[in-house]
Amino acid sequence: MLEENKLKTTEYQVDEADDMPDDTAGDNDANDAMFTVSYGARVQSPNVWIIDSGATKHMSPCRCMFFDYVPFSTSEPVSLGNGTVCDAMGIGRVAITVVVNDEVKRYTMADVLYVPQLVNNFFSVTAATLKGHEVTFQRCRCTISRNGQLIATGHAVNHIWYVDVDTVQSPTDVCAELKTQVKEKELNLWHQRLGHVNERRLKTAVSKSLINGVDCANGDKLPFCEACVQGKQARKPFKGLADVQTKHKLELVHSDVCGPMSVASLGGARYFVTFTDDFTRCCRVYFLKQKSEVFEKFKEYEAEVTNHAGCSIKTLRTDNGGKYTSREFETYLKQKGIRHEVTTPYTPQQNGVSERLNRTLQEMALSQVMHAGLPKCFWADSVSTACYVRNRLPVVPLNVSPFEKWYGKKPDVSHMR
């Protein structure tokens, strides 16, 4: 119901999910009409809240005051004291700024019904007491408290009780500020779910409908992310090839090994190897205990992608490391008719696609581990997740996601948490 932000009026925070609206409340009423409310003075002002002991829910006719609003699929009836029935169109949270002993405090009220036909805001005594608050009426003074702490006060005028609110601050302005904060919180949540993806990249995917299931607005602003700063620091960026060089799947596959890591993974791995199809930029990641396992992982990758794509790998581009140039590896490539392109020693720029991918996966993985506060032994799980996410986000050369390019359908990320 009422939750104090513990801050002055210039600073506040939004309620957590446990105070979200619940449009199922009141289903136990025997009458067809869901709620009952007294109908009194006609004072059309968002700053006026009438205390009503007959209302079963907080109600407001001012849509602009809601900063977290959920519309009903069908309107719900609200029975007034004079027998009139109005329609409640939705439910949400409303900010209210009260004055208690000359001190201004800001609260948020949850489960507030939006009833456009009303002319007053109604503060429900029933809803307050169900949330654990105590409402006490005296001669000309009303107090609202919880656990012995005074939350708000009220006064009576012509036998009608009003909450003592701050008339200086505009409820519309307060609502706009809270809406902005809620939007930033939603965008930040998806930023974290999608491997601490770049803000512009996330917004591009949302605005162009390249992914499904993301419910944040494109105009929102991502707040400062300390985990990204810690996880994405770099000395100097590489300039990889920006254009796709192929016209079909598996014409060219880029590969590179990253490691050793300072800490072994939970499975004992200290390296990971990536394989990236140039045409779709769809990548796979495999974890290694020793570099000598690269050959076996390549055969595993080849069997998987050739079976799915229905064609064979034409060219493999790697660095000049021994794990790719062993006699066993070279013999296998010749038997399969796969051309092997190797880079000049000490020039990783020639293998820019794989080098850039390694950096992307490490940055995403490290940011996720930093944000979650997990030990470094979870790096392999985080890299695997980063690879999964990266395949479902648009990449620069394609302007679509590798998943869509490979599978021919848009990815859905609504299941991610």
Name residues whose C-beta falls within 8 Å of residue 410's C-beta, 6 or more positions apart in sequence.
209, 210, 211, 212, 401, 403, 404
Helix (H) or strand (E) run with residue 402 in it = helix 402-407
Q: Which of 18, 23, 32, 52 is catalytic?
A: 52
Instruction: Output 18-24 pairs: Cβ under 8 A, ≥24 positions apart.
Output: 19/93, 19/108, 19/110, 20/68, 20/93, 20/110, 21/68, 21/70, 21/91, 21/92, 21/93, 21/110, 21/111, 21/112, 22/91, 22/111, 23/70, 23/72, 23/76, 23/91
Distances (CA, A) of 210 to 121, 207, 219, 282, 409: 42, 8, 17, 15, 10
**Is 18 a residue of the active site?**
no
DSSP single-letter state for residue 378: G
**What pairs with residue 272 in β-bridges?**
258, 287
Rounded CA-CA distance 222/30 in Å is 47
For residue 141, list its beta bridge partners.
155
Give the single-character DSSP code of 283. Answer: E
Closest CA to 263 of 366, 336, 190: 366
b/e code 37-73 from CB counts within 10 Å (16+ = b): bbbbeeeeebbebbbbeebbbbbbbbeebbbbbeeee
Residue 290: strand, helix, or coil: coil
- Amino acid occupying residue 416: M
H-helix segments, 272-349: 294-309, 322-325, 327-336
d(C-alpha 318, C-alpha 303), whole Å: 19
**Active site residue ranges:** 52
